[in-house]
């Protein structure tokens, strides 16, 4: 779906998508926002020493500022790092269930992607992108030693090998660590003269997956106007792969949830301009998510039919 390459080792259970309602604070007003819970199988094992990826990140001085151990299990790495003076908290949907608040300079996610199905992997990447401060860094550690079935707490669970389209920071026969930053903070080696391929750091990001991003339009039609953009440079929507189209719609739905919580619109227009004759001005596929509000036009009937003057009413 989203992760570049997936090899299923063993699967016996379906992983459900669970939506949680949590309390968030924006300025002085309390709002309720739907947060996608990355609901994982029970695979945590009590550690006796710090995990190798966590120790690497510590030894290399990569855990900076306020940090989050996402999917921390019992929290052994978290506790060991706190004892060494790091400002870090842990989150796990079984063992440390307090939702993380605010944003973080550093997020580490160790081996969690290996036990999630593709949809949950996508949800995890979006959630980390939302929790990471602009300019912050996230580190995804994935196992490289999966060779067969593995039992956790007496039961077998889904496992998969994972390849990410991010910078590979360090790799051994046992694990690999990827460095992730928001798309507009990543180095982009491209010859394309495209504003979407080289987003400005001032761009207000909404969420991101391995292949798709959502951000607020710099010239919005209405409050909360967002763009959903595949990372691969493609001019025509109909030239996207099925997986890229699916990724766009996953991100679209998540962006809609965030905009609902922040702006409370009364409706939406969703649209893609394909070709100059249809009004496309940036020739990198992008989908508009335009919130609509009662009274924003005198007569909204017809909606997108209004792209042809005189054809809105019927």
DSSP 8-state symbol, 166 = S
- Let me know if 189 is a catalytic residue: no
Do the beta carbons of residue 29 and residue 274 sit within 8 Å?
no
* Per-residue exposure over 49-88, b if at least 16 CB sit within 10 Å of its own CB, e if not: ebbebbebbbeeebbeebbbbbbbbbbbbbbbbbeeebeb
Two tokens, residue 206: 């909404």
Q: How many Cα atoms occupy the beta-carbon half-sphere of 284 within 13 Å? A: 17
Name the catalytic one among 182, 189, 286, 288: 286
Cα 172 to its chain centre, rounded Å, is: 26
Burial classification of residue 183, based on how many CB atoms lie within 10 Å of its CB (0-12 exposed, 13-18 middle, 19 or more buried): buried
Q: Which residues are catalytic?
A: 286
């Amino acid at each position: 779906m989203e992760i570049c390459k997936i090899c299923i080792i063993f699967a016996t259970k379906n992983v459900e998508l669970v939506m949680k309602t949590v309390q968030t604070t924006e300025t002085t007003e309390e709002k309720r926002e739907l947060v996608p819970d990355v609901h994982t199988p029970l695979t945590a094992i009590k550690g006796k020493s710090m995990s190798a990826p966590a120790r690497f990140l510590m030894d290399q001085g990569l855990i900076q500022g306020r940090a989050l151990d996402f999917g921390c299990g019992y929290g052994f790495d978290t506790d060991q790092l706190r004892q060494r003076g790091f400002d870090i908290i842990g989150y796990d949907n079984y063992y440390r269930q307090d939702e993380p608040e605010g944003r973080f300079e550093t997020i580490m996610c160790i081996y969690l992607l290996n036990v999630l199905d593709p949809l949950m992997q996508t949800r995890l990447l979006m959630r980390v992108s939302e929790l990471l401060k602009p300019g912050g860094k996230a580190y995804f550690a994935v196992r490289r030693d999966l060779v067969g079935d593995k039992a956790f707490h007496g039961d077998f669970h889904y496992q998969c090998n994972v390849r990410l389209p991010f910078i590979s920071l360090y790799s051994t026969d046992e694990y690999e660590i990827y460095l992730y930053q928001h798309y507009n903070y990543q180095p982009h080696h491209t010859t394309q003269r495209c504003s979407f391929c080289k987003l400005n750091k001032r761009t207000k990001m909404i969420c991101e997956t391995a292949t798709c991003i959502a951000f607020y339009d710099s010239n919005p039609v209405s409050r909360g106007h967002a763009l959903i953009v595949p990372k691969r440079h493609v001019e025509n929507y109909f030239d996207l792969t099925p997986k890229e189209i699916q990724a766009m719609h996953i991100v679209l739905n998540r962006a809609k949830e965030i905009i609902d919580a922040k702006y409370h619109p009364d409706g939406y227009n969703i649209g893609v301009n394909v070709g100059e004759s249809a009004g496309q001005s940036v020739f990198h596929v992008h989908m508009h998510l335009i919130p609509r509000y009662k009274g924003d036009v005198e007569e909204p009937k017809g909606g997108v039919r209004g792209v042809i003057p005189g054809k809105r009413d019927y």
